[in-house]
Amino acid sequence: MRLRPALVLWHRWFGLLGALWLFLLGATGSVLVFYEEIDHGLNADWFTASPGSSLPVSRMVGAALEAHPGNRPGYIDLPDEPGDVVTVYLEPVATPGKPPVASPSYWQVFVDPATARVLGARDANAIDLSRRGLMSFLYTFHYSLHLGRRMTWLLGLVGVVWIIDHVVSAVLSFPSAARWKESFRIRRRAAGHKRVFDLHRAGGLWLFPLTLTLAVTGVYFNWYETVIAAVDRVSPLTERPDAAVPALTTPLENPPVGLDQALALAGAARVDSLSYNPAKGVYWLRLFDPRDIDSNGGRWLFVDARSGAVVGDRHMNEGSAGDIFVAWQFPLHSGKAFGWPGRIAIFLAGIALCTFVVTGLMIWWRKRSARREAGRRSGVRPAPSVAPAE
């Protein structure tokens, strides 16, 4: 088989087999670009803090644990601006001698920093399409369809094949080197099939850098360990400071150095979030820093929960080429690396991805119908064609 017909066949079957997944990823991804804005609009009472100075963070964590006993704080997201609330993410406490729960609840608890009053809570793993749980549901749906790790892995595989298909579609988009400019053009007076074809081909070329970025970064998130291992082989990654801390014989659930003491070690730096690892007895603080490349804190501070000593302090986007590549994955996938223009670009790329899926199916259906009609008229069943769509 010649190269071009083989590439057409690949592109067609990838489009047919991957259409549903790509459409769902594009649609949910576009919504998630504005996750915080939509969530705050739907649940304003959960995200509106009382006026006044902030109480110690330990008070807010205590209130969250009191409302949902049997859990431990896994991650604490502090206010980015005055008027924001504290979000405490709770993890179930493992019971010695008992197997872990198959589908545990991971609570997001929203606490007023001025009063330590719990404003609301939701299970991040729940299938909840109400206004309370919609955005949390979409977040998990985006990377696993709420079907667990196997689906997460499968969507990562779709991303890998999608990267390959970017190369294939780019080759197919330029059937003639002398007329390459026409591939970028959407004919103004074209209608029907020609307009659909132009939208599919030219739109794909214009947004090629964005959709390829989404494919690469999506594989990073769904195949995190595999990608990290591959990057480390090419450009060795800087080891996290807490990785060198040996695990404790018994998890330290009530450390001598409390949350408030650990936060005080940040000094004048504004803290974005923090978490605690009882298996090693180490706090991890994320601090805002002028070197940040998005709206999340990029400076990492690690604190020994037994002595209060700082065991590590580094910025995530500094180090080897591999470190920088990893640091840019979320800012690029979310568009936050370039502020509002970047977010809008990712939103449009998600909408465009849905459009490419629909137009691709329309092109396939038209060619399929034309072959069937030709076969009906000739009385001969035609063999599947691998000719270019246009």
Mean pLDDT (whole number) for 187-196: 81
Q: What is the mean pLDDT of residues 36-45?
A: 96
pLDDT of residue 100: 58
Q: Predicted confidence band at 241 (pLDDT cuts at 50, 70, 90)?
A: confident
pTM value is 0.89
How high is the mean pLDDT of the chain?
91
pLDDT for position 315:
95
Structural domain contains residue 75: yes
Give the range with max mean pLDDT: 48-57, 94-103, 239-248.
Answer: 48-57
Q: What is the pLDDT of residue 383?
A: 55
Question: What pLDDT digit, counting tens, does each position of 166-177 carry?
Answer: 999 999 999 888
Kindly state whether residue 366 falls inside one of the protein's structural domains.
no
Span 106-130, pLDDT tens digits:
899 999 999 999 999 999 989 999 9
Q: What is the model's pLDDT at position 96?
A: 62
Q: Is residue 113 part of a domain?
A: yes
pLDDT tens digits, residue range 219-236? 999 999 999 999 999 999
Query: Could you tell me the pLDDT band of residue 387, with boundaries at 50, 70 and 90?
Result: very low
Residue 328 lies inside a defined structural domain of this protein: no
- In this structure, what CATH number is given to the domain that contains residue 253? 3.10.450
The band of 337, judged by pLDDT with boundaries at 50, 70 and 90, is: very high
- Say if residue 386's pLDDT is above 60: no
User: Residue 296: inside a domain, yes or no?
Assistant: yes
pLDDT, average across residues 59-70:
95
Mean pLDDT across the stretch 327-334?
A: 96
Residue 81 domain-assigned (yes or no): yes
Interval 87-96 mean pLDDT:
85
Predicted confidence at residue 285, as pLDDT, reads: 97
Domain count, the chain: 2
Higher pLDDT, 291 or 375: 291
Model confidence band, residue 105 (pLDDT cutoffs 50, 70, 90): confident
Residue 7 lies in a domain: no
Residue 135 lies in a domain: no
Give the tens place of pLDDT for each residue, 13-28.
999 999 999 999 999 9
Give the pLDDT confidence score for residue 367 in this predicted structure.
87
Query: What is the pLDDT confidence band of residue 378, given thresholds at 50, 70 and 90?
Result: confident
Q: What is the pLDDT of residue 381?
A: 59
15 vs 384, residue with greater confidence: 15
Which of 100, 130, 160 finishes a domain? 130
**Residue finishing a domain among 299, 318, 337:** 318
Chosen domain end from 130, 157, 192: 130
- Tell me, letter by letter, the H, E, C secondary structure of the chain: CCHHHHHHHHHHHHHHHHHHHHHHHHHHHHHHCCHHHHHHHHCHHHCCCCCCCCCCHHHHHHHHHHHCCCEEEEEEECCCCCCCCEEEEEEECCCCCCCCCCCCCCEEEEECCCCCCEEEEEECCCCCCCCCCHHHHHHHHHHHCCCCHHHHHHHHHHHHHHHHHHHHHHHHCCCCHHHHHHHHCCCCCCCHHHHHHHHHHHHHHHCHHHHHHHHHHHHHHHCHHHHHHHHHHHCCCCCCHHHHCCCCCCCCCCCCCCHHHHHHCCCCCCEEEEEEECCCCEEEEEECCCCCCCCCCCEEEEEECCCCCEEEEEECCCCCHHHHHHHCHHHHHHCHHHHHHHHHHHHHHHHHHHHHHHHHHHHHHHHHHHHHHHHHHHCCCCCCCCCCCC
pLDDT greater than 60 at residue 364: yes
pLDDT of residue 389: 46
Structural domain harbouring 275: 239-318
Q: Summarize the confidence of residues 148-177 as an average pLDDT.
A: 94
